[in-house]
Structure 1
């Protein structure tokens, strides 16, 4: 991380003026900040260091990288340090027209693009003498446009996942500065699984035990085997399916059963039946496995049909949610977060993405609930609430609206938005009081009533802890009223929490 050139600019007004014009890196504009409040999705620090005459802003990130954000909602890394960014800005004054170039485009194409763009600039003002003077004064090397484009290309590709810029009010992501191709999420997710699959195929006993015993590594190895099938895998698949059954019914358990079935060996039927009977969920989830009287051809046909319907051999055909879940499982939180943000942004812009294939006239808001859960797993409650609030807005029955609002209240409480959580719980009760909607008629008699009462008590405790005794007492009264109309089992289920909450409330009254 170097900022020698930046420090020289800050110390020398003549050099700073030259950087501002004609190279559009104006230190004085830093005092104005960006056109709107922004933050990094990763939570990393940002410092404004300069601006340009279009309203764009240059930021230094925590590791020294320089992020440029336009006033039109695009952002990206343009240098691994302030010095590198200045090299690019001075060496490629028309760098904005080069963001789609890569070293693979070749010298001829790169030089033609740069020459054309710089000739257009020269029609209005000079850049050559100014560039030579500024480079010399700042101690920057004289690099060819081809080398500078390579540096810019490498910097832009580092934008995701660590340097994605968000509007700090709406939490939407800025678009990328470039349209460069990037590896799909599944490549990073499968990397560990492919390595473990190779270990299993090598026959390393200790490594095999470690993979089979680790739920995450096991799932990833099975996914790797899905997309890299080999005749010699039957033994390791048998081992993995036994281990995966310990996690009850999962997509990967079904996948393992299918991969085994594709080998068409009827001697595997007892194993599949044993796995099926692990527990109630596996019994239901694998109920369609052929019976003990089936032959190898029938087993293979069952597996082939399941494979075509649910799995396949192309990772690009898997739902993105599969890769997001597996990314979160192995700690690739940044990659998962960016994928979730981009997905949520797309849904906000086009709610038609939620249309049900079987009923195109209806929107299915359930993916928003899953997105909110994944954001919560990633530790991003602000984005989880953004998804959940949209989920609430799209519900069309009182029951679904009440359930979504209850979840929203929980997230608001956990995020410290206590006043909003109180209002959300009030909306829950309003939805349940909708006499025209029969879907909510029996909420008092079932566990939903228990969950509603529990959240009222939890929020009461949070209000008390926040030294808001009046609000806490008011909500506690509502909680007690709800408990009073619940079925006896449900009321018993929250009695201990109610008593503990009363004690907490007494301590602050």
Structure 2
């Protein structure tokens, strides 16, 4: 164990103090092992520092705050440091029974709740107060009132997500929250900088170029403008729409910017709107052709506004805010939200969840979390029935598994894909089309990766299937995979 603070070090060095801290105060530095393997979603270091005797464990996260994981699957930050966690355990030995209280109601309910919890402890430990005073003195810990300790506990709990989301290592599911208190909605968190930017831009046109040129800030300002519409924003909206149109990357805010401009009903904006419709990303985000007549443009915009946008941020899909958080660089915020949705979708496990799981997989891959992306894709593949859809889903799952380094799992997933696709009633035409090229390419990639890892059976079997598929393709498709096929052949030859 790394020693986090003077008080913890004293407990480790002095068994007689450690015994009192363990019972009755539920902070046992000798019983720090947690029953189930856990990890932080962020990948930050996690070290068990004490157990509480009920199956719960106190973990120090990255050398800083302390997270408590209960024995029944919940977790949350409880202190800013290991010594503060010890102060809380000694000063509020019944703290787990107080989590339902909020600071707003604690003034009235906390004293009675603390008294009741400590009276229950005194039934077996009548000298509780003397033990507490002696332990605090020996460890050099300050005296804090129950109200102060509770306020610190509650503040820590609200800081748990996104940076300290705890996952079960097996399966990757997120632990439930330790307390029932509401959190700030994701939309408010990601919209806040956009609203601030929008207010500044309305007063200072000199900042327009800077914000328009920043993809994340531009998208956030457009979202803010969606929910805070003002007539005099048209010149700013034109600048933002022009920047969205010129951006080669895909962005769902292109449609939003076009609608916000078109709602002003200015005929001079028709060329700008038509340029937006002609942009490559317009097809993906459903920006239909702009009417020829200026008078019809407003109705066109109102239709899109009513169908896809609107002025109530609470009606926007959660994925809108997750994508915006990712583009703002708030990776852990986006990841935590995605994993909460993924856990719920897995629990439902209905056919209606199949598309959602596919989208979650794509979003998690965009965050760089290939393990969780594979988990979501596995759920998607299990819920699709049509042979073609299932084959496509399994091919992508195999790719994700390969990229995470789990080559045996990738081969188990990929091996039946040709047989699955052969049953889709298309007379094996898929083999000569783009899908055939994708399946063959994945077999080549897996064979090459397996050769590099010394997994000869997988490398040889995957290469054999890849060659069979490659031989049945058209000449153009064969040529497009020629270099990959040759490199894989050499890699497997070196293995043999």
Partners of 2:157 and 2:420 lie apart in 1 by: 48
- Of 1, 14, 17, the match for 2:16: 14
Tell me how many residue pairs correspond in the alignment. 492
> TM-score, normalised to structure 2's length?
0.94
CA 1:238/1:139 → structure 2, altered by over 3 Å: closer, same or farther?
same
Within-5 A mapping of 1:302-451: 302-352=300-350, 362-434=351-423, 437-438=424-425, 441-451=428-438
Aligned to 2:468: 481
**2:457 counterpart of 1:462:** no
1:101–1:149: 8 Å Cα contact kept in structure 2?
Answer: no
Shift of 1:304: 2.5
Q: Secondary structure, in 3 states, of the residue corresponding to 1:299?
A: helix
**2:196 counterpart of 1:195:** yes
Aligned to 1:234: 234
Shift of 1:79: 0.7
Shift of 1:203: 2.5
1:409–1:422: 8 Å Cα contact kept in structure 2?
Answer: yes
1:460–1:473: 8 Å Cα contact kept in structure 2?
Answer: yes
Farther off after superposition, 151-160 or 490-499: 490-499
Partners of 1:262 and 1:111 lie apart in 2 by: 57
Partners of 1:313 and 1:284 lie apart in 2 by: 19
Shift of 1:53: 2.2
Farther off after superposition, 322-331 or 405-414: 322-331
Q: Secondary structure, in 3 states, of the residue corresponding to 1:183?
A: coil
1:234–1:260: 8 Å Cα contact kept in structure 2?
Answer: yes
CA 1:277/1:167 → structure 2, altered by over 3 Å: closer, same or farther?
closer
Aligned to 1:357: none
Structure 1: unaligned runs, 5 residues or longer: 353-361
Partners of 1:385 and 1:117 lie apart in 2 by: 45
Partners of 2:374 and 2:236 lie apart in 1 by: 42
> TM-score, normalised to structure 1's length?
0.91
CA deviations 1:311-360 (Å, max 9, x no partner) are 122222111111111111222111111111111111111234xxxxxxxx
Shift of 1:161: 1.3
Q: Secondary structure, in 3 states, of the residue corresponding to 1:365?
A: helix
Farther off after superposition, 261-270 or 363-372: 261-270
2:38–2:166: 8 Å Cα contact kept in structure 1?
Answer: yes
Q: Secondary structure, in 3 states, of the residue corresponding to 1:27?
A: coil
CA deviations 1:134-155 (Å, max 9, x no partner) are 1222122211111111100111
Partners of 2:77 and 2:202 lie apart in 1 by: 40
Shift of 1:369: 1.5
Aligned to 1:99: 99
2:387–2:420: 8 Å Cα contact kept in structure 1?
Answer: yes
Within-5 A mapping of 1:258-269: 258-269=259-270
Aligned to 1:160: 161
CA deviations 1:242-269 (Å, max 9, x no partner) are 1111236642111111112222333323
Q: Secondary structure, in 3 states, of the residue corresponding to 2:356?
A: helix
Aligned to 2:484: 497
Aligned to 2:176: 175
Partners of 1:134 and 1:11 lie apart in 2 by: 14
Aligned to 1:44: 44
